[in-house]
Amino acid sequence: MGSQGGIGQSKEFLDLVKSIGEARSKAEEDRIVLGEIETLKRRLVEPGIPKRKMKEYIIRLVYIEMLGHDASFGYIHAVKMTHDDSLFLKRTGYLAVTLFLNEDHDLIILIVNTIQKDLKSDNFLIVCAALNAVCKLINEETIPAVLPQVVELLGHQKEAVRKKAIMALHRFHQKSPSSVSHLVSNFRKRLCDNDPGVMGATLCPLLDLINRDVSSFKDLVVSFVSILKQVAEHRLPKTYDYHQLPAPFIQIRLLKILALLGSGDKQASEQMYMVVGDIFRKCDSSSNIGNAVLYQCVCCVSSIHPNPKLLESAADVIARFLKSDSHNLKYLGIDALGRLIKLSPEIAEQHQLAVIDCLEDPDDTLKRKTFELLHKMTKSSNVEVIVDRMIDYMISINDNHYKTDIVSRCVELAEQFAPSNQWFIQTMNRVFEHAGDLVNIKVAHNLMHLIAEGFGEDDDTEYTHLRSSAVDSYLRIIGAPKLPSVFLQVICWVLGEYGTADGKYSASYITGKLCDVAEAYSNDETVKAYAVTALMKIYACEMAAGRTVDILPECQTLIEELSASHSTDLQQRAYELQAVIALDAQTVENILPSDASSKEIEIDKNLPFLNDHVERAIEKGAQPYIPESERSGFSSASYLNRQDLYEVPPSHGLRFEAYELPKQPSVPLTTPPVSIGSSNELIPVPEPTYNRGTQAAVSLPSSSNAGPAEVKLRLDGVQKRWGRPTYSSSSASTSAAASQDTVNGVTPPDGATTVTPAISKGRETTYEPTRKTQQAVEISPEKQKLAASLFGGSSKQERKSSLGGGHKTAAKPTGGHAVEAPAKKMAAPVQQPPPPDLLDLGEMTVATTGPLIDPFKQLEGLLDSVELASSTKNHVDVSAAKGPDAMAFYGDSATTVEQGGHHFSSIDDVDNLMSGLSSATTDASSGGGIPTSQLTTQNSKGPNLKDALQKDALVRQMGVNPSSQNPNLFKDLLG
Partner 1 sequence: QKQYTRPNQLEEQVAFSFERLFLFFSEQNRDLRSDYSSPWTPVARTRNRRCLQSASIVNHEPHILIILRHYDLNGVILLVTSQIHFVCLISRQGKVRLTKWYSTYTQKERSKAIRELSGVILSRGPKLCNFVDWKGYKVVYKRYASLYFCMCIDDEDNELEALEVIHHFVEILDRYFGSVCELDLIFNFHKAYYILDELLIAGELQESSKKTVAKLISAQDSLVEVAKEEASSISNIIAQATK
Instruction: Tell me which H or E stretch contains 11.
Output: helix 11-22
Q: What angle do CA 422, 426, 428 make, to 5 degrees?
A: 115
Asked if 6 is part of the footprint of partner 1 (rule: CB under 8 A), the reply reads: yes
Shortest Cβ distance from residue 829 to partner 1 (Å)?
34
3-state secondary structure of 859: helix
Asked if 398 is part of the footprint of partner 1 (rule: CB under 8 A), the reply reads: no
Rounded distance between C-alpha atoms, residue 841 and residue 831, angstroms: 14
Asked if 529 is part of the footprint of partner 1 (rule: CB under 8 A), the reply reads: no
One-letter amino acid identity for 38? E
Number of other residues whose CB lies within 10 A of the CB of residue 222: 17
Shortest Cβ distance from residue 647 to partner 1 (Å)?
8
Q: Rule CB under 8 A: which of 439-458 touch partner 1?
A: none
Closer Cβ to partner 1, 204 or 570, answer by number: 204
* 454 CB-contact burial (10 Å; exposed 0-12 / middle 13-18 / buried 19+): buried
Asked if 106 is part of the footprint of partner 1 (rule: CB under 8 A), the reply reads: no
Shortest Cβ distance from residue 941 to partner 1 (Å)?
18
Closer Cβ to partner 1, 501 or 894, answer by number: 894
Residues 206/174, Cβ–Cβ less than 8 Å: no
Rounded distance between C-alpha atoms, residue 793 and residue 778, angstroms: 19
For 275, residues 6+ apart whose C-beta sits below 8 A from its C-beta are 225, 228, 229, 232, 959
Q: Rule CB under 8 A: which of 740-759 touch partner 1?
A: none
Shortest Cβ distance from residue 570 to partner 1 (Å)?
31
Asked if 213 is part of the footprint of partner 1 (rule: CB under 8 A), the reply reads: yes
Residues 44/74, Cβ–Cβ less than 8 Å: yes
Q: Rule CB under 8 A: which of 466-505 touch partner 1?
A: none
Compute how many residues bind partner 1; rule: CB under 8 A: 114
Q: Rule CB under 8 A: which of 115-144 touch partner 1?
A: 123, 125, 128, 132, 135-136
Rounded distance between C-alpha atoms, residue 461 and residue 413, angstroms: 27
Q: Rule CB under 8 A: which of 243-272 touch partner 1?
A: 247-250, 252, 256, 263-264
Shortest Cβ distance from residue 30 to partner 1 (Å)?
11
Asked if 509 is part of the footprint of partner 1 (rule: CB under 8 A), the reply reads: no
Q: What angle do CA 33, 34, 36 make, to 5 degrees?
A: 60
Binds partner 1 by CB under 8 A, chosen from 170, 434, 449, 875: 170
- Residue span 883-902 as binding mask against partner 1, x where in contact by CB under 8 A, dash where not: -----------x--------
Closer Cβ to partner 1, 304 or 839, answer by number: 304
One-letter amino acid identity for 798? E
One-letter amino acid identity for 229? K
Asked if 379 is part of the footprint of partner 1 (rule: CB under 8 A), the reply reads: no
Closer Cβ to partner 1, 237 or 456, answer by number: 237
Rounded distance between C-alpha atoms, residue 584 and residue 546, angstroms: 10
Asked if 934 is part of the footprint of partner 1 (rule: CB under 8 A), the reply reads: yes
Asked if 82 is part of the footprint of partner 1 (rule: CB under 8 A), the reply reads: no
Shortest Cβ distance from residue 854 to partner 1 (Å)?
32
For 289, residues 6+ apart whose C-beta sits below 8 A from its C-beta are 242, 243, 245, 248
Tell me the C-alpha to C-alpha distance, in Å, between residue 905 and each of 146, 156, 302, 853, 929.
64, 66, 27, 22, 19
Binds partner 1 by CB under 8 A, chosen from 32, 44, 49, 67: 67
Asked if 208 is part of the footprint of partner 1 (rule: CB under 8 A), the reply reads: yes
Binds partner 1 by CB under 8 A, chosen from 226, 296, 344, 905: 296
Rounded distance between C-alpha atoms, residue 541 and residue 548, angstroms: 11
Longest dimension (CA), the chain: 106
Shortest Cβ distance from residue 568 to partner 1 (Å)?
30
Asked if 368 is part of the footprint of partner 1 (rule: CB under 8 A), the reply reads: yes
Candidates 55-63, 427-435, 741-749, 963-971; binding stretch for partner 1 (CB under 8 A): 55-63
Shortest Cβ distance from residue 66 to partner 1 (Å)?
6
Q: What is the 3-state secondary structure (H, E, C) of 218-270?
A: HHHHHHHHHHHHHHHCCCCCHHHCECCECCHHHHHHHHHHHHHHHECCHHHHH
Closer Cβ to partner 1, 9 or 473, answer by number: 9
Asked if 971 is part of the footprint of partner 1 (rule: CB under 8 A), the reply reads: no
Number of other residues whose CB lies within 10 A of the CB of residue 946: 8
Rounded distance between C-alpha atoms, residue 605 and residue 233, angstroms: 75
Candidates 111-119, 293-301, 466-474, 609-617; binding stretch for partner 1 (CB under 8 A): 293-301
Asked if 92 is part of the footprint of partner 1 (rule: CB under 8 A), the reply reads: yes
Q: Rule CB under 8 A: which of 315-334 touch partner 1?
A: 326-328, 330-332
Candidates 58-66, 183-191, 535-543, 864-872; binding stretch for partner 1 (CB under 8 A): 58-66
Closer Cβ to partner 1, 415 or 457, answer by number: 415
Binds partner 1 by CB under 8 A, chosen from 217, 224, 295, 890: 295
Shortest Cβ distance from residue 292 to partner 1 (Å)?
4
One-letter amino acid identity for 235? R
Shortest Cβ distance from residue 401 to partner 1 (Å)?
6
Binds partner 1 by CB under 8 A, chosen from 15, 28, 148, 174: 174
3-state secondary structure of 765: helix
Rounded distance between C-alpha atoms, residue 827 and residue 496, angstroms: 49
- Give the rounded distance of the alpha carbon of 244 from its chain centre: 40
Tell me the C-alpha to C-alpha distance, in Å, between residue 471 and each of 504, 551, 690, 797.
10, 21, 41, 44
Asked if 834 is part of the footprint of partner 1 (rule: CB under 8 A), the reply reads: no
Q: Rule CB under 8 A: which of 13-32 touch partner 1?
A: 14, 17, 20-21, 29
Asked if 4 is part of the footprint of partner 1 (rule: CB under 8 A), the reply reads: yes
Closer Cβ to partner 1, 273 or 727, answer by number: 273
Dihedral Cα 85, 91, 96, 99, nearest 10 deg: 140
| Alpha helices (H) along 685-839 | 686-702, 715-721, 724-732, 738-777, 781-791, 801-810, 817-831
Rounded distance between C-alpha atoms, residue 651 and residue 689, angstroms: 13
Q: What are phi and psi of 471, to 5 degrees?
A: -60, -45
Closer Cβ to partner 1, 65 or 278, answer by number: 65
The secondary structure of 162-229 as a DSSP string is HHHHHHHHHHHHHH-GGGGGGGHHHHHHHTT-SSHHHHHHHHHHHHHHHHH-SGGGGGGHHHHHHHHH
Rounded distance between C-alpha atoms, residue 899 and residue 381, angstroms: 10
Candidates 196-204, 278-286, 569-577, 687-695; binding stretch for partner 1 (CB under 8 A): 196-204
Closer Cβ to partner 1, 102 or 548, answer by number: 102
Number of other residues whose CB lies within 10 A of the CB of residue 239: 9
Asked if 652 is part of the footprint of partner 1 (rule: CB under 8 A), the reply reads: no
For 116, residues 6+ apart whose C-beta sits below 8 A from its C-beta are 145, 146, 149
Closer Cβ to partner 1, 405 or 628, answer by number: 405
Candidates 290-298, 625-633, 689-697, 765-773; binding stretch for partner 1 (CB under 8 A): 290-298
Binds partner 1 by CB under 8 A, chosen from 244, 267, 365, 775: 365
Q: Rule CB under 8 A: which of 414-433 touch partner 1?
A: 416
Closer Cβ to partner 1, 323 or 327, answer by number: 327
Asked if 761 is part of the footprint of partner 1 (rule: CB under 8 A), the reply reads: no
Binds partner 1 by CB under 8 A, chosen from 44, 151, 289, 826: 289
Binds partner 1 by CB under 8 A, chosen from 710, 777, 850, 851: 710
Closer Cβ to partner 1, 196 or 900, answer by number: 196
